[in-house]
Amino acid sequence: MSVERPRGTNDYGPEEMARRRAVEAILREAAHRFGFREVSTPTIEHLDLFTTKSGPGIVEELYSFKDKGGRDLALRPEFTASIVRFYLAELRNLPKPIKVYSVGNVFRYEEPQKGRYREFTQFNAEVIGAPALQGDAEVVALAIECLRSVGVRDVHVRIGHIGMLRAFLKLPPEDQGKVVHWLDKRNFPALKAELARLGLASLETPLRQYIELKGGTEVLDKGAKLLSGVGTEGFEYLKALAARLKLYGVEHLTYDLGVVRGLDYYTGMVFEVDSPNLGAEKQVMGGGAYSLAEVFGGDPVPQTGFAFGLDRIVLAAEAEGVKLPVPRLDCYVVPIGEPMQTKALEILQTLRRAGVSADIDLLGRGPSKNLDYANAIRARLAVLVGDAELKKGRVAVKDLDSGKQEELALEALIARAVQRPKA
Ligand code: AMP
């Protein structure tokens, strides 16, 4: 039997899990503030949900298998396809626009490294059925608000338009998917070979110049020149989007025509956020506008979404020294001597019932070992239950951060314990 965990997967200990949950709670809270509601879809889906339109980028990375009934299934590599399936089956009966988010694990057979795993958690949000400009602005604004709420500040928000590139390539979907995929991966030998196969070798130079364009509105003009014959509609759209985002207080956007989301279903605005502190795997979020409903046989409907990698946003927060609101144990109850056990358990119960998180020695250790343990688990207060204080109707309470000790009646202890300091 192998006792090692599978490559590219993670175990998370209590401290790390507390930080992950803290970030997740902040993201959920931000989504709720923006009027998004949570939905959940299965971890396994029919394989063809992902092979239909996700393109070569995702298909090569799927964990797929046959179940005992011989059905082809896959572990979800992302949320969007599942959300669209759910939309077509049920959600479309809800009043529009539909604003939903999901949090859960996704699976991709990738080459693991720091920040890149085979099982990881995504926080995904989507707007379905709002006009493009309004829906896109709401989604980009939420993504930026998520980062602001977590406290991650050193980020680059890059925004582009994949529709312009697709219009320029004017290729059948499968060929277009391959060119876009190699551009996204910056795999230039493969791009060159693909363009040569299509008899479009002359496009290599303009395409490579195009994806290097990054900056203010001037890059949109340069981009329009490189994609001659395509017009400027997508770029004008990006300017209108930036103007609308200003009304949300979003100012610092970089136009980046190199944002080429590899998945075939992106058709309009695309955006990514990097945390430069993360090294090679610095992208904390990616998203954009897409058309997937019609691929699955539904009516066309505007859709925009994004996904954060939870692992990367936690790493970005840690790299910036962000203090996350991680819950701590309020009280660790220490009986001073064996005869105090019964009273200490009573006090423990009272605290727990009052909504205070409280713990007690389970190993029969002496007071000083108990205090070491309380410090090691980062408890806030040690509650020392001794005979002398009890006779006065009190307990000794030691603040484990400041080291200060005072005597308090139980009600006063509860009042003190529920006043939790902000992270
Ligand atoms: P994508 O669905 O590829 O746009 O990914 C959305 C976000 O998920 C990225 O911006 C990353 O933060 C995160 N992500 C993607 N792939 C991985 C991975 N293999 N391991 C950890 N996080 C990932």
DSSP code per residue over 181-244: HHHHTT-HHHHHHHHHHTT-GGGHHHHHHHTT-EESTHHHHHHHHHTTTS-SHHHHHHHHHHHH
Task: Report residue 280 as tokens.
Answer: 């090679």
Decide: 116 in ligand 1 pocket, CB within 6 A. Answer: yes
pLDDT along the chain (423 residues), means of 10: 90 95 97 98 94 68 94 95 94 95 96 93 97 97 97 94 89 86 91 93 93 94 88 93 95 91 80 92 93 84 96 95 93 94 96 98 92 96 95 96 96 95 75
Decide: 284 in ligand 1 pocket, CB within 6 A. Answer: yes
Looking at residue 95, its pLDDT comes to 94
Question: Which residue's CA is the closest to the ligand 1 atom numbered 15?
Answer: 309
pTM listed for this prediction: 0.92
Decide: 117 in ligand 1 pocket, CB within 6 A. Answer: yes
Q: How much distance in Å is there from the Cα of 344 to the middle of ligand 1? A: 48
Decide: 110 in ligand 1 pocket, CB within 6 A. Answer: yes
Question: Which residue's CA is the closest to the ligand 1 atom numbered 16?
Answer: 116
Count other C-beta atoms under 10 Å from residue 327's C-beta: 12
Decide: 175 in ligand 1 pocket, CB within 6 A. Answer: no
**Separation between Cα atoms, residue 17 and residue 170, nearest integer Å:** 47
What is the layout of strands, in order, in the sheet containing 358-360?
A: 358-360, 331-335, 381-385, 395-399, 405-408
Q: How much distance in Å is there from the Cα of 342 to the middle of ligand 1? A: 52
Decide: 120 in ligand 1 pocket, CB within 6 A. Answer: yes
Count other C-beta atoms under 10 Å from residue 245's C-beta: 20
Is the separation of the CB atoms in 104 and 122 below 8 Å?
yes
Q: How much distance in Å is there from the Cα of 167 to the middle of ligand 1? A: 27
Count other C-beta atoms under 10 Å from residue 145's C-beta: 18
Q: How much distance in Å is there from the Cα of 309 to the middle of ligand 1? A: 5
Q: How much distance in Å is there from the Cα of 135 to the middle of ligand 1? A: 22
Decide: 105 in ligand 1 pocket, CB within 6 A. Answer: no
Q: What is the DSSP letter of 278?
A: G
CA nearest 160: which of 60, 58, 241, 59?
A: 241
Decide: 78 in ligand 1 pocket, CB within 6 A. Answer: yes
Residue matched to tokens 């250790």: 365
Residue matched to tokens 């490559």: 7
Q: How much distance in Å is there from the Cα of 280 to the middle of ligand 1? A: 12
Question: Which residue's CA is the closest to the ligand 1 atom numbered 17?
Answer: 116
Which of 9, 152, 162, 312 best tests ligand 1's pocket when mutated (most atoms within 8 Å of CB)?
A: 312
Decide: 260 in ligand 1 pocket, CB within 6 A. Answer: no
Is the separation of the CB atoms in 399 and 387 below 8 Å?
no
Which of 122, 259, 266, 308 best tests ligand 1's pocket when mutated (most atoms within 8 Å of CB)?
A: 122
Q: How much distance in Å is there from the Cα of 308 to the middle of ligand 1? A: 7
Q: What is the DSSP letter of 281?
A: S
Distances (CA, A) of 162 to 201, 288, 404, 412: 21, 9, 60, 61
Decide: 122 in ligand 1 pocket, CB within 6 A. Answer: yes
Decide: 108 in ligand 1 pocket, CB within 6 A. Answer: yes
Decide: 145 in ligand 1 pocket, CB within 6 A. Answer: no
**Separation between Cα atoms, residue 161 and residue 269, nearest integer Å:** 4
Residue matched to tokens 């070979």: 193
**Residues near 158 by Cβ (< 8 Å), separated by ≥ 6?**
214, 253, 254, 255, 256, 258, 259, 271, 272, 273, 274
Q: How much distance in Å is there from the Cα of 281 to the middle of ligand 1? A: 9
Q: How much distance in Å is there from the Cα of 170 to the middle of ligand 1? A: 29
Q: How much distance in Å is there from the Cα of 18 to the middle of ligand 1? A: 21
Q: How much distance in Å is there from the Cα of 222 to the middle of ligand 1? A: 30
Q: How much distance in Å is there from the Cα of 320 to the middle of ligand 1? A: 20
Diameter of the chain by CA atoms?
Answer: 93
